[in-house]
Amino acid sequence: MQVTKISLSGLSGLKELPPLSLYIHFPWCVKKCPYCDFNSHEFKPVPGAIAIADGSDIGRSRVGDGFDEMAYVETLLRDFEYSLPAIWGGRSPPSSWAGARPACSRRRRWTRCWPACARARIHPDAEITMEANPGTFESERFKGYRDAGINRLSIGIQSFDPRQLKALGRIHDGDEARRAVEIALTHFDNVNLDLMYALPNQTLAEALADIDTAIGFGVTHISAYHLTIEPNTLFAVQLPANLPDDDISADMQEAIEARLEGAGYVHYETSAFGKPGRFARHNVNYWQFGDYVGIGAGAHGKISSHEGVVREMRYKQPAAYLQAIADGNPVQTRHKVGRKELPFEFMMNTLRLTGGFETRLFSERTGLPVSCIQSQLRQAQAEGLIEHNLTHLRPTLKGQRFLNDLLTLFLHDEGEN
């Protein structure tokens, strides 16, 4: 597909700052799954004891090669202090907050972040999400999460089928998955279930059975992901046998979308389905090219100012992250997004939204006039990939199915300045 040059004459800067979210990363899982390219490390606790200010004996855990988890929590607090200027940078209070993988941590440890996070002036009605796994060990803690202020739980079910769970390297079984959802729903009224399809030897009926089970619980949100073989994973080294072909996978996708929409879930993003009013605020902010501060090992952030848009990443390895924070330098990489990159960056996020976006959002979030991408928009419309008028732009069903082709139109030539 031809890549069209983007004209960038007559640019203006951002007139107001985008909404802001917070993300806190705890990088541990009980076991690394073979499909996962997330920055996660196996949790290996060593018993001991340490007393904290309230006199509680919360124990001390070490991760991997003698890594001190309590030191990690203290480091998060310092990282948070470094981030406050970006959070306070003349914008509204954060309305969403997400934390990934804190489940291996004792509740009293990661809730030490709460008083510090109050300094971020988080909106009183903020949606605060925790990612969790369905194993018995973690399910027993769901009430503690709710008591600590979490108001949305996202559970990595992946499948209710024991055969598929084994193929995916998951440590829970189907009964534990069901029990985890039941426990979650006794404490939370806003629960997401992550499911995967196009799994080894999976049939269309089996894929729909997982979806039907999730629907039957009445959860507010379901994410349905096509299994993707990512680089630097075990599956990339040893490809699973008998994966469904493209035609069968497409049939699964269409059937899953129809089943969920028929059950009252709105298909609002490529892989996300929510009950009305229950779309994931944190993720929607990503997809609308909003800003987010990420703290913790390997966390990513996007921060806008009147000078432009900057992406940054913390050090990935926990030990390196601790040392970097101790040295007063939490960010491993920082990259100012060039003006020629901004259209692609913006579209890469917003075109995941099936309902698209108001056209004015492009200028509000990039500081660029819509006129600089008119040729790309005309080409995308001519190819049936988008519907576009003066006020709104959305991907067509064809654009959703061939999203990569659509996004390619907004790439700039590498040799351009």
Dihedral through CA 21, CA 26, CA 29, CA 33, nearest 10?
Answer: 50
Model confidence band, residue 27 (pLDDT cutoffs 50, 70, 90) = confident
Each residue's pLDDT tens digit, 341-393: 999 999 999 999 999 999 999 999 999 999 999 999 999 999 999 999 989 99
pTM for the model stands at 0.88
* Contact in structure between 352 and 280 (CB atoms under 8 Å): no
Burial of 205 (0-12, 13-18, 19+ CB in 10 A): exposed
DSSP class per residue in 126-169: -EEEEEE--SHHHHTTHHHHHHTT--EEEEEEE-S-HHHHHHTT
Residue 368 burial (CB count, 10 A): 22
* Contact in structure between 377 and 343 (CB atoms under 8 Å): no
Domains and CATH numbers, the chain: 20-285 (3.80.30.20)
What pLDDT is recorded for position 63? Answer: 43
Residue 377 burial (CB count, 10 A): 19
Which is more confident, 238 or 92?
A: 238
Report the pLDDT averaged over residues 7-35: 74
Q: What is the spatial distance between Cα 163 and Cα 174, in angstroms, rounded to a whole number?
A: 9
What pLDDT is recorded for position 52? Answer: 27
Give the 3-state secondary structure of residue 391.
coil
Kindly tell me if the per-residue pLDDT of 102 is higher than 50: no
Q: Output the six-digit token pair for 412.
A: 């700039």
Weakest-pLDDT range from 42-46, 75-79, 346-350: 42-46
Which is more confident, 211 or 23?
A: 211
Ramachandran bin of 227, using left for φ above 0, alpha for ψ from -120 to 50, beta for the remaining angles: beta
Each residue's pLDDT tens digit, 115-165: 555 556 667 788 888 888 898 667 778 888 888 788 999 999 999 999 999
What pLDDT is recorded for position 47? Answer: 45
What pLDDT is recorded for position 140? Answer: 79
Element (H, E) at 237: helix 234-237
Which is more confident, 110 or 37?
A: 37
Report the pLDDT averaged over residues 187-204: 96
Q: What is the spatial distance between Cα 133 and Cα 377, in angstroms, rounded to a whole number?
A: 41
Give the 3-state secondary structure of residue 208.
helix
User: Who contacts 221 (Cβ-Cβ below 8 Å, separation ≥6)?
Assistant: 154, 190, 191, 192, 193, 265, 272, 273, 274, 275, 278, 279, 280
Kindly tell me if the per-residue pLDDT of 269 is higher than 70: yes
Residue 116 phi, psi (nearest 5): -65, -40
87, amino acid identity? I
